[in-house]
Structure 1
């Protein structure tokens, strides 16, 4: 039997609606259970130094954010980062470097997040399901509005990249 991805079983608009419902349910579950979570966030940067920003279909539509995701059972933060980058924007990290680790309160749960700077080649490929838009921006011309955490993570990654070049 062929391996058909579940995302291909419903139209993108229906999938986006299901993602929004799932996000609401997940937040309620986290408030009730207060699980320990593990997550990753990526600051993809191309050869020109531009930063890839995304708009998620199930979050505030006007807000630019980063590629993010949870770490699955049996997976490392780094493995999750590679997987999320491929799933959300169709890119592969040529180099993946951790730049920040922090506990992030999320709707009653605590998320152990590692932020990575990812050196990438190519253009993002999105399927208009989880990601509604993805574009590269020059570091001195980042889009507005950006989520507060995305601003911090981009600053940490670019600071790390600057330190790496001067070392």
Structure 2
């Protein structure tokens, strides 16, 4: 029902309301401390560049695409849904990478990290996402959010643990 209401609002109004909704959600999570879960996706293009976003809400930093996991929702389905809603992209080869235990907004947070390759140009929804750009993985923009920095570090470390256990 909430998604339907969001889609009926004009984009500019929806975008203007997002910072307020973000602050309310942040304060609610801080007060409640209830465990939450979400997904992040490290999307690269064919050249290996990393897709980063600027959101219409929250800190003014570059971040990874993703979002909140609905109760009972499969994390991979959530990742596909978020990418399709926010960027108009379908990832054919979505791969699970790691599950990170974090704290967000004062609440325990389980972040399901995925990776995938995009062969089309993402189009920001202009509601939650106002900009989406690919950057060379060796030259990411600043400011980069701390949460994003940790998740990209986990992505960069992929396979290293497997290689060391093979020796």
Q: Normalising by the residue count of structure 1, what TM-score does the alignment of the two structures yield?
A: 0.86
Tell me, in whole angstroms, the C-alpha distance in 1 between the residues paired with 2:101 and 2:7: 34
Q: 1:88-167 alignment to 2 at 5 Å?
A: 88-160=86-158
Q: Which has the higher strand share?
A: 1
Give a deviation string over 1:88-122, Cα, whole Å, max 9, x none: 11111121122221122122211111111112220
User: Retained in 2: the 8 A contact 1:77–1:114?
Assistant: yes
- Deviation per residue, 1:52-84 (Å, 9 max, x gap): 0000110223x1111121111121111111111
1:36-75 alignment to 2 at 5 Å?
36-61=35-60, 63-75=61-73
Shift in Å, 1:13: 2.4
- Give, in angstroms, the shift of residue 44 of structure 1: 0.5
Partner residue, 1:15: 14
Consecutive unaligned residues in structure 2, runs of 5 or more? none
Pairwise CA distance, 1:162: 8.1
Aligned to 1:33: 32
**Structure 2 CA distance for partners of 1:134 and 1:162, relative to 1, 3 Å:** farther
* Aligned counterparts of 1:59 and 1:29: Cα–Cα separation in 2: 15
Of 122-131 and 13-22, more deviation after overlay is shown by 13-22
Task: Report the CA distance shift for 1:128/1:162 in structure 2 as closer, same or farther (over 3 A).
Answer: farther
Q: Distance in 2 between matches of 1:54 and 1:110?
A: 24
Q: Cα distance, 1:151 vs. partner?
A: 1.8
Q: CA deviation at 1:161?
A: 6.8
In 2, distance between residues paired with 1:139 and 1:162? 17
Unaligned runs of 5+ in 1: none
**TM-score for the superposition, normalised by structure 2:** 0.86
Q: Distance in 1 between matches of 2:137 and 2:77?
A: 26
Count of residues paired in the alignment: 161
For residues 138 and 59 of structure 2, the distance between their equivalents in structure 1, rounded to whole angstroms, comes to 23
**Residue of 78, 85, 88 corresponding to 1:87:** 85
